[in-house]
Structure 1
């Protein structure tokens, strides 16, 4: 039994799997789960797909005036098959080839397959197309998309790649905020990938945001080595004087068509242009509508007449000065002024990232230390206040603080009268003073005015007490009255205390 085939519904253009035909039977149809229309072998789309799978002769080139049969199949809703691959979705369309999402039944996995547009190409065209496959097959790096296979079927050249779920760097840059550390990290990873290619003798020559995919984890992946050149192999595919690359990102020597002088530093220039654009949103050398590539890059001019190397920091003040210097060196006009290799650029970007990360961590630790210190001080202060309140309840109140002129309580009168000692301190000193911890055994003495009085009255409560009553400690100096007999208390409209019962106490002589 053959595996199911995937076709595109002619009504809703959704991808649908249908049963594959047996060798001696027709395709069994089905109903599209999206729109409900029938999808089977009777439709023109499926019949067209079957003819492509059988490998009919294909005439012409889709780049010419008449569309190729592939374009016709796409418009009718069926992608068909190429060799063992089932084409499921078209991912991209370029001037040289088309990229499809395809299923490889032999290895049971999805791949990205690049198909040459030109049918039955010449040997020279095939050599140029397969040069990308041979160049990328030499490379094994986490930031370079790997090549799985390459071949020629049904008059078409194809190369299958590892499928990456991601978006081009230019799309990612427009839909995400790229701060300087993020831009530096992406270009650092790309510079390491380019350095790996250079060590294997491969010069990319077409580094640009469209050839960089940012995957679901934010990791850049380098693709499309179609214009690459082997530095260790003499090639006649690119003649000297031909302009190879994308004008907005090519180096001045590329813009002048000096293909023999293009080396690792040309790729460094392209990396610098991408870094500049990621930092400030525009390229360092904007192309004019009328100028040639060499005029844009300043090629062919004397060093004194060339435009100065632009600064990303001048366009975006948020760019750190050290990172701006790295970017300026990468996009220098003269190759001798640039980084000698992509490895040197990657090392400087990595050093800046480590320095920036360390400064960020230091600021975070300093802020955390301040917050921790304030929290600890608050906790200790609260604990000290609770301890003071428990040990000296009267001192914790507003009267003990002496704020707003509130008089301090006459807290030690009862203890002083109980001891019968004369005061050692002047009469105008405060009556309540918190004792030192080393002298906690002897409490401080109160004022001397309470030593000769038989009764003590309070104008606030309207009562009089014996000097030994516990309520005396709550009477402030401003409300304290010294009384010799109950008649004096009655004259001042004071009532006897219900706790100490001063009228029932026997009369005692003073000292």
Structure 2
């Protein structure tokens, strides 16, 4: 079957039909479809990218009314018949955009409309962050740092894949991605006026810490439901919006940062990530996983209740050794940490990843608190 015939099959699908999700999923799993993808003409690639992106966007509208219901979110989403089709559709969109280093038109922002400061307000292993303005609105500009090396094509492919993933996430505890510029390569997101998590707590010491923890757990539950691993969950990667709600950012970029010889990694800088990192990763025996995210979430809880990094005031190296030697932070002296909550934290940072609870279970426990 030719690539033209495959594209024609997509065009013949009736998107208003109740059978559309199943028909789309079936087509995306077809052997003929998989075999023809490498042979798609440039114009066919562009059409398919726009088609898959439009389907993903339409399915996202279903989610918007679900989020205010706290722990009912997952039940509502799991009951929606469009979810399997959405997952497959987004997976294909990420794969094609990565392989061809292209993005849907809806992702692209004109550099001429973007104004950013001359000096970064923050810097990290994967790039520099600038305060910017887009059409009169304040935005966050993350300029990604790519280094010379033979793995640049792999880095660019991964960055395209992660941008696709981020743009199609919609949740009140996730920082929205507005779009991308290619020259230079920048990710543009909504500006979070409350700053990083610890910064917000410093300026609002009386804030409800349990509410912040629940918000982070809710955002992470959403990511894991979408089969997305954050890879670098910690206070600096949780920003607070103007309503005081925490929003997770930079998911996927930590994984991108591990592509050697192309992007300098936070992971290689023990002054940053080690305090939050699961022992199986620090020991070199494990990969980023949902279980590792849950470990990092427990360490982020320590940040929320103490206003300090985990293992403060010890050095990052000492913190790393402590984690590897099965030592954990002491119980914070905070009135909201009950015996039940402390037990939950201990289970989340269990040395054995298989003994850690799923984040959806953590969210439910927090919701019942």
The DSSP-based 3-state class of the residue aligned with 2:281 is helix
1:320 aligned residue (319, 330, 338): 338
Q: Does 1:211 align with 2:276?
A: no
Matches within 5 A, 1:400-479: none
Dislocated runs of 4+, deviation >6 Å: none
Cα 1:169/1:94, change in 2 over 3 Å: same
Q: Is the 8 A contact 1:279 1:312 kept in 2?
A: no
Q: Distance in 1 between matches of 2:312 and 2:130?
A: 33
Q: Is the 8 A contact 1:85 1:104 kept in 2?
A: yes
Q: Is the 8 A contact 2:311 2:319 kept in 1?
A: no
Cα 1:200/1:152, change in 2 over 3 Å: same
**How far apart are residue 114 of structure 1 and its match?**
1.6
- The equivalent residue for 1:350 is 367
Larger Rg: 1
**How far apart are residue 190 of structure 1 and its match?**
0.8
Cα 1:247/1:82, change in 2 over 3 Å: same
The DSSP-based 3-state class of the residue aligned with 1:347 is helix
Matches within 5 A, 1:93-492: 93-105=123-135, 109-118=137-146, 122-153=152-183, 156-178=184-206, 182-227=208-253, 237=259, 243=267, 246-260=273-287, 262-282=288-308, 285=311, 289=315, 291=317, 295-298=321-324, 306-307=326-327, 311-312=330-331, 315-316=333-334, 319-339=337-357, 341-352=358-369
Let me know the Cα RMSD of the aligned residues: 3.4
**How far apart are residue 219 of structure 1 and its match?**
0.5
**How far apart are residue 238 of structure 1 and its match?**
7.1
Cα 1:287/1:263, change in 2 over 3 Å: farther
Higher relative contact order (CA 8 A, sep 6+): 2
The DSSP-based 3-state class of the residue aligned with 1:159 is strand
**How far apart are residue 144 of structure 1 and its match?**
0.6
Unaligned 5+ runs, structure 1: 1-80, 300-305, 353-511
| Higher mean C-alpha deviation, range 270-279 or range 200-209 | 270-279
Cα 1:229/1:95, change in 2 over 3 Å: closer
Q: Distance in 2 between matches of 1:149 and 1:166?
A: 21
Q: Distance in 2 between matches of 1:116 and 1:349?
A: 35
Cα 1:98/1:343, change in 2 over 3 Å: same
Superposed CA offset, 1:360-391 (max 9, x none): xxxxxxxxxxxxxxxxxxxxxxxxxxxxxxxx
Q: Is the 8 A contact 2:130 2:140 kept in 1?
A: yes
- Compute the TM-score of the two structures, normalised by the length of structure 1: 0.43
Q: Distance in 1 between matches of 2:247 and 2:176?
A: 10
Q: Is the 8 A contact 1:202 1:229 kept in 2?
A: no
The DSSP-based 3-state class of the residue aligned with 2:173 is coil
Q: Distance in 1 between matches of 2:143 and 2:339?
A: 45
Q: How many residues align?
A: 250
Superposed CA offset, 1:409-456 (max 9, x none): xxxxxxxxxxxxxxxxxxxxxxxxxxxxxxxxxxxxxxxxxxxxxxxx
